[in-house]
A = this chain, B = another copy of it.
Amino acid sequence: MVSRLSLYLRELQQLLRIGKKTISSSKLGRRLGVTDAQVRKDFAYFGHFGYPGIGYRCEELVLEIRRILGTDRTWPVALIGCGNLGQALLGYRGFGKQGFQVELAFDIDPAIVGQTFEGLKVIHLDQMRELVQEKDVRLAILAVPAKSANQAVETLVAAGITGILNFAPVTLNLPKSVSVVGVDLAMELEQLAFAVVKQGQATK
């Protein structure tokens, strides 16, 4: 359900960009591969029933979904690890658009600490606790090598981080009070391989 909310949100934002003000549940469902009934059920769950003959108002739904997801505000985010992946993530425009602002960037490599990427100066991880509390940061993006991940996590938890987006291909040892979402990029390639195989069979 929560991941469908993100999908709805992206699609509604896209519709607004191209100037559409309303959408029917069946059209929205078709665009996302979800049944009409499922769309109506999801929206009814948070009190939206659409308007007869009009459908759903895109802007209203966008606001409502962002409120539910907690992205109706801007979240300050800490980035841990400023190697290639970390630098790529600092340049990633998609975060800012959805209400996430990387405000702190940390590393432990003396060759990287002190450098500036995308206008942010990299700070040593040792200084994390103080800065995270000062800026009331609760979300962190972990972009360190697998072998350093669990050590970094101890510092994050001690600093008061309660949500971690984990790019390190390793299971993190975390207290229950900390949420984690793992990014597994190979999973996306699997979906693609499946689609390519199926498409190949369909056109034979």
Interface residues of A (CB under 8 A from B): 2-3, 5-7, 9-10, 14, 68-71, 75, 77, 83-85, 87-89, 91-95, 97-100, 138-139, 141, 146, 162-165, 169, 171, 177, 179-181, 183-197, 199-200, 203
A71, B193: Cα distance in complex, Å:
7
CB distance B177 to A195 under 8 Å? Answer: no
Q: Closest approach, in angstroms, between the C-beta of A196 and any C-beta of chain B?
A: 4
B177 with A199: CB separation less than 8 A: yes
Instruction: Check A100–B186 contact: CB distance below 8 A.
Output: yes
The answer to whether B169 touches A98 (Cβ under 8 A) is: no
Contacts of A190 in B (CB 8 A): 5-6, 9, 69, 71, 98
**Cβ-neighbour of A95 out of B138, B185, B191, B194 (below 8 A):** B185
With beta carbons under 8 angstroms apart, the residue of B93, B194, B200 that contacts A169 is B93
Within the complex, the shortest CB–CB distance from A83 to chain B, in Å, comes to 7
Q: Which residue of B lies closest to A191 (CB)?
A: B181
> Bound state CA distance, A138 and B179, in angstroms?
37
Cβ B179 vs Cβ A195 within 8 A = yes
Known contacts A88-B85, A200-B162; is A189 also within 8 Å of B77 by CB?
A: yes
